[in-house]
Amino acid sequence: MLPRCTLGTGDRRRIKRMDDWLTTEQAAARLGVKRETLYAYVSRGLLHRALDTDGRRSRFDPAEIDQLRRRQRPEGEFATLVTTRIARPADEGVYVRGRDLVAEAALSTFEEAADRIWQAAPGEPWPSVADPDGDHDDIGVRLPKRSPLMDRLRIGVTLASATDPLRDDLSPISVRTAGRRAVCAMVNSLPRRCNPQGGSVADTLWCRLARRQASQRRRAALNRALVLLAEHGLASSTLGARVAASVRADPYSVITAGLGVLGGRLHGAASAPVHRLLAEAARGGDAASALGEAQRNLGFTPGFGHVTLKRRDARCGALMEALASAWPTDERLGTVLEVYNLAADRTEGIATVDFALGAFTYLADMTPESGEAIFAIARTVGWIAHALEEYDEEPLRFRFRARYIGD
């Protein structure tokens, strides 16, 4: 994430008097957005903020606000409209194929949810993700121990592509088969840390990210996270995947395109600073100080603020409910709730699924980067669904025009 803005830095017009900077209300009015949207821009790194001399109120550089405003429609901000029958994200839930994904997350396995999102025919098989003799199971052993998880996932997808001679078959059943192979390859690209207690994607993934086995409720919490993150409309990574599908890239290349965008620090990695915040709050025994330090270093509250959702992110509540069920007596859950309540009381933005995912990886004794891996494996389902839809459209339709503004 980008650091908090400070006076006198960068190439922007220097403003010596803090009084010349805009208040939150003034900045929101100038952009024509709500306060919640303004802070969502901050959380995504589109804007910076500085604290007023009293150390409490936020101030915004008017030059940066004006620069963002000039990029808004109709003066050239990138925008496109893609019609879809897959998902409708809303404050009250995520509706996928007309069904509430938040409700399904409590009832369905990740594999079942994926097949419904892909509109798979009954009986289409999933590979055995837990098979130790599979083509991809030794990737985690061969790579250096410190290899980033996202790099491992990309290698897994590449190997799945290289071993699929039918990868260029874009028929729906072949694309779905490729999607299942890619998910299993991604899971098995991660190093094994304990022996899985079941054969599902969630069971196997748990033992690739956690150091010890867990109860069924805790593995169910991971399954719920995977389902909740499987699809959320035309997010940036999904747009990248659809552009790849538009030029008729094979399914593995579509996933690789999505991974490239998801790997940005403003997208799939948003849960990592939440995990670090919770760990620091527990270590120091002072949630308020840990939250304040995170806000000073990052310029926003980790896990709060969403660009499109305004009132609430129903996925956050659903996953937090699973955490409370899986770790009911763990004192660390008290730290999670203390930080959550404190941030909710003092933050304009809504709590997002990124907060709940960071809390999950913290409670599960995973690394902070594990949330990004969970996000990537889950969202592969959405990318494949959008690829299937895009393959039915006219090819090469994402041909954008550039307006040259150089000398």
The model's pLDDT over 339-391, given as tens digits with 9 standing for 90+, comes to 999 999 998 889 999 999 999 999 999 999 999 999 999 999 999 999 999 99
Percent of the chain with pLDDT over 90: 65
Percent of the chain with pLDDT over 70: 89
Does 386 qualify as catalytic in the annotation? Answer: no
Residue 3 has pLDDT above 60, yes or no: no
Q: Binning pLDDT at 50, 70 and 90, where does residue 10 land?
A: very low
- Per-residue pLDDT tens digits for 393-402: 999 988 877 7
| Per annotation, catalytic residue among 48, 137, 354, 386 | 354
pLDDT of residue 308: 83
Q: What is the mean pLDDT of residues 43-72?
A: 79
Residue 6 has pLDDT above 70, yes or no: no
Residue 403 has pLDDT above 70, yes or no: yes
Does 275 qualify as catalytic in the annotation? Answer: no
CATH topology of domain 1-79: Multidrug-efflux Transporter Regulator; Chain: A; Domain 2 (1.10.1660)
Q: What is the mean pLDDT of residues 46-72?
A: 80
pLDDT of residue 140: 57
pLDDT of residue 131: 55
For the chain, the average pLDDT equals 88
HEC string of the chain? CCCCCCCCCCCCCCCCCHHHCEEHHHHHHHHCCCHHHHHHHHHCCCCCCEECCCCCCEEECHHHHHHHHHCCCCCCCCCCCCCCCCEEEECCEEEECCEEHHHHCCCCCHHHHHHHHCCCCCCCCCCCCCCCCCCCCCHHHHCCCCCCHHHHHHHHHHHHHHCCCCCCCCCHHHHHHHHHHHHHHHHHCCCCCCCCCCCCHHHHHHHHHCCCCCCHHHHHHHHHHHHHCCCCCCCHHHHHHHHHHHCCCCHHHHHHHHHHHHCCCCCCCCCHHHHHHHHHHHHHCCHHHHHHHHHHHHCCCCCECCCCCCCCCHHHHHHHHHHHHHCCCCHHHHHHHHHHHHHHHHCCCCECHHHHHHHHHHHCCCCCCHHHHHHHHHHHHHHHHHHHHHHCCCCCCCCCCCCCCCC
| Per annotation, catalytic residue among 136, 275, 306, 386 | 306
**Of 134-138, 250-254, 279-283, 401-405, the least confident:** 134-138
Does 267 qualify as catalytic in the annotation? Answer: yes
- Choice between 158 and 407, residue whose per-residue pLDDT is larger: 158
pLDDT of residue 167: 98
| Per annotation, catalytic residue among 48, 136, 267, 386 | 267
Q: What is the mean pLDDT of residues 281-306?
A: 94
CATH topology of domain 87-268+369-391: Citrate Synthase; domain 1 (1.10.580)
pLDDT of residue 390: 97
Q: Binning pLDDT at 50, 70 and 90, where does residue 320 land?
A: very high
| Sequence spans of domains, the chain | 1-79, 87-268+369-391, 272-363
pTM beyond 0.95: the answer is no
Q: What is the mean pLDDT of residues 163-191?
A: 97
Name the CATH code of domain 272-363 (choices 1.20.140, 1.10.3470, 1.10.357, 1.10.230): 1.10.230
Q: Of the ranges 40-44, 136-140, 154-158, which is most confident?
A: 154-158
Q: Binning pLDDT at 50, 70 and 90, where does residue 130 land?
A: low
pLDDT of residue 405: 76
Q: What is the mean pLDDT of residues 317-334?
A: 98
Q: What is the mean pLDDT of residues 201-210?
A: 97
pLDDT of residue 93: 87
pLDDT of residue 2: 32
- Per-residue pLDDT tens digits for 73-126: 544 445 567 889 999 998 888 999 999 999 999 999 999 999 999 999 999 999
